Amino acid sequence: MSHSSVLSSLSKINEKYRMFRTVTSETDAGDAKFLFSAKDNLTSKDMETCSGSRILEGYRPPFDATSIAKMREAGGLLVGKTNMDEFGFGTFSTNSAFGVPRNPYDLERSCGGSSGGAACAAAVMEGHVAIGVSTGGSICCPASFCGVYGVVPTYGRVSRYGLLDYGNSLDKIGIISSNASDLGKYVEIMAGADPRDPTSCVQPAIGARRKLKSVAVPGDATEGVSEDVKKAFKDGLEALKSMGVDVEKVEMPSLRYAIPAYYVIATSEASTNLARYCGMRYGHQDGDLSLKFDDYFTSFRSQYFGEETKRRILLGTFTRMVGFRDRYYSKARRVRQSIIEEYRSVLSGCDAVLTPTMPFVSPKFTDISKMTPVESYKADILTGPPNIAGMPHASMPCGYDRDGMPIGMQFVANHWDEGVLFSAAEEWEKNFDAVRPEVSI
Ligand code: GLN
């Protein structure tokens, strides 16, 4: 399919799968080298940027995020902004204020979250490159649920300039695609020091591709994981062994504390970041100006923020309150440090830590609606650890359950060692029998 014919079919595709919040009005791809989409929390000059939230409806940023600017400079055409959980708060993209993307393998199921629209676009449109963002799992989770490849580079590798912050110390911009070779190719385009994001400034160059020779599997990697995921993961391990990769078992006892620590740090940061959305600067500004300023802000935020967003503001404000800060926020930071040290020590003896990506296959929307918030937070049990540690990681498809739903496995490498993940993905793709979803529009 030519680029221009993809452009003309976007709206139809979107009607069925709902991956896009905004679709370009461009119908002629001109001499574009590739088509890409960006998660709706990255600013772009020519399209609204709402981060999946009503409160930002109508916000048109006057500048491109660095990641988007670099993709355009490399010859990419931005075709749309993808649906996501509001501000990245979620695991199933069901907390989106605009549209909930539908899994191309079964429309009654989720695409994962919070970059659900991105993974959906990558799965549905062969050759499409989707920019996703991960704070605590939002690239690997949807990549796994949609049977595609997803990579999260080291924290600081890609500039966060133009990203609407969720948790500044956690947010990472990466790539989702159905082609393994796109991971390295497009991360290399987006990466690099940017004076507008100081956390991106000190970074070693992305090293040459390095063959994956050994992986470590934590002893409790499949604890609480569904039988289908266990089986696909075991098959994945056997396949890796037959590709000449050494597999060893290790103990990583700190990893089980990643989720509580992550939710404390992430919500603490989010609750301060969201203070700027108060009906004065961005998006809707149609509140009742005769109100006192705090009543104005409260009425505005009550009206336009979704339920999960309100929950996280309350939680994050609580965890950094005087009197509770040491008990929660400071303790969570210490947990984070021990997780980093544990990864470093294991990765000094092997190339990557390997686990399944998600504990189960993509659930049905009817089941998601019955989940409590804590049940859905627990779904991040395997994707949380590398995110809190800022380690680069990638999800690759490794099998399908009895209903044909995709299952993924997650490789975690040492800081700045993306090269080993890129080559592992390329090698794996040659050996894995992928089943593409049947796409009809
Ligand atoms: N599911 C996690 C959360 O809700 C991670 C989301 C993300 O990475 N943005 O916070």
- Ligand 1 shell residues, CB under 6 Å: 88-91, 114, 134-138, 166, 266, 380
- d(CA 277, CA 67) in angstroms, rounded, equals 23
* Shortest-distance atom of ligand 1 to CA 308: 4
The verdict on 138 and 219 lying in the same domain is yes
The verdict on 66 and 178 lying in the same domain is yes
- Mean pLDDT over residues 309-327, rounded? 94
The two structure tokens encoding residue 167: 């948790």
Q: Give distance in angstroms: CA of 89 to centre of ligand 1.
A: 5
The verdict on 187 and 97 lying in the same domain is yes
Q: Cβ(68)–Cβ(81) under 8 Å? A: no
Radius of gyration of the chain (CA): 20
- d(CA 169, CA 143) in angstroms, rounded, equals 23
Percent of residues, the chain, with pLDDT higher than 70: 100
pLDDT at 428 over 80: yes
The verdict on 9 and 83 lying in the same domain is yes
Beta strands in 135-193 (DSSP E): 149-152, 172-177
Percent of residues, the chain, with pLDDT higher than 90: 92
The verdict on 44 and 116 lying in the same domain is yes
The verdict on 287 and 374 lying in the same domain is no
Query: Distances in Å between the alpha carbon of 203 and those of 8, 193, 198, 261, 297?
Result: 40, 7, 11, 26, 40
- Mean pLDDT over residues 328-345, rounded? 97
- Mean pLDDT over residues 262-291, rounded? 91
Q: Is 114 a catalytic residue?
A: yes
Q: What is the CATH number of the domain that holds 349?
A: 3.90.1300.10
The preferred substitution site among 51, 87, 114 for testing ligand 1, maximizing ligand atoms within 8 Å of CB, is 114
Q: Is 185 a catalytic residue?
A: no
Which residue stretches of 320-417 are H helix?
A: 331-347, 365-368, 373-378, 384-389
Q: Cβ(417)–Cβ(389) under 8 Å? A: no
Q: What are 181-230's pLDDT values in tens digits?
A: 999 999 999 999 999 999 999 999 998 899 999 999 999 999 999 999 99
Domain termination residue (choose one: 292, 315, 333)? 333
242 by Cβ neighbours in 10 Å (0-12 / 13-18 / 19+) ranks as exposed
The verdict on 374 and 247 lying in the same domain is yes
Q: Cβ(388)–Cβ(262) under 8 Å? A: yes
The preferred substitution site among 83, 85, 131, 375 for testing ligand 1, maximizing ligand atoms within 8 Å of CB, is 85
Closest-CA residue to 309 (of 166, 139, 111): 166
Looking at the domain assignment, is residue 403 inside a domain? yes
Domain count, the chain: 2
Query: Domain residues for 151?
Result: 3-254+335-431
The verdict on 282 and 303 lying in the same domain is yes
* Shortest-distance atom of ligand 1 to CA 141: 1
**Kind and range of the H or E run holding 207:** none
Q: Is 11 a catalytic residue?
A: no
* Shortest-distance atom of ligand 1 to CA 263: 10
Nearby residues of 125 by Cβ (< 8 Å), 6 or more positions away: 6, 13, 35
Looking at the domain assignment, is residue 438 inside a domain? no
The verdict on 194 and 160 lying in the same domain is yes
- Closest residue (by CA) to atom 4 of ligand 1? 90
Looking at the domain assignment, is residue 437 inside a domain? no
The gap from C-alpha 188 to its chain's centroid, in whole angstroms, comes to 18
Catalytic residue among 138, 268, 271, 423: 138
The verdict on 362 and 412 lying in the same domain is yes
- Mean pLDDT value across the chain: 96
Domain termination residue (choose one: 333, 350, 385)? 333
Look up the pTM and report it.
0.97
- d(CA 349, CA 153) in angstroms, rounded, equals 21
Domain termination residue (choose one: 301, 333, 365)? 333
Q: Give distance in angstroms: CA of 244 to centre of ligand 1.
A: 34
pLDDT at 359 over 90: yes
Looking at the domain assignment, is residue 210 inside a domain? yes
Task: Give the per-residue pLDDT at 12.
Answer: 95
Task: Give the per-residue pLDDT at 289.
Answer: 84
Q: What are 119-166's pLDDT values in tens digits?
A: 999 999 999 999 999 999 999 999 999 999 999 999 999 999 999 999
The preferred substitution site among 40, 95, 135 for testing ligand 1, maximizing ligand atoms within 8 Å of CB, is 135
Task: Give the per-residue pLDDT at 7.
Answer: 94
The verdict on 77 and 138 lying in the same domain is yes
* Shortest-distance atom of ligand 1 to CA 138: 8
pLDDT at 23 over 80: yes
Nearby residues of 142 by Cβ (< 8 Å), 6 or more positions away: 93, 111, 112, 113, 114, 115, 116, 118, 119, 120, 132, 150, 176
The verdict on 351 and 403 lying in the same domain is yes
- Mean pLDDT over residues 15-27, rounded? 96
Looking at the domain assignment, is residue 440 inside a domain? no
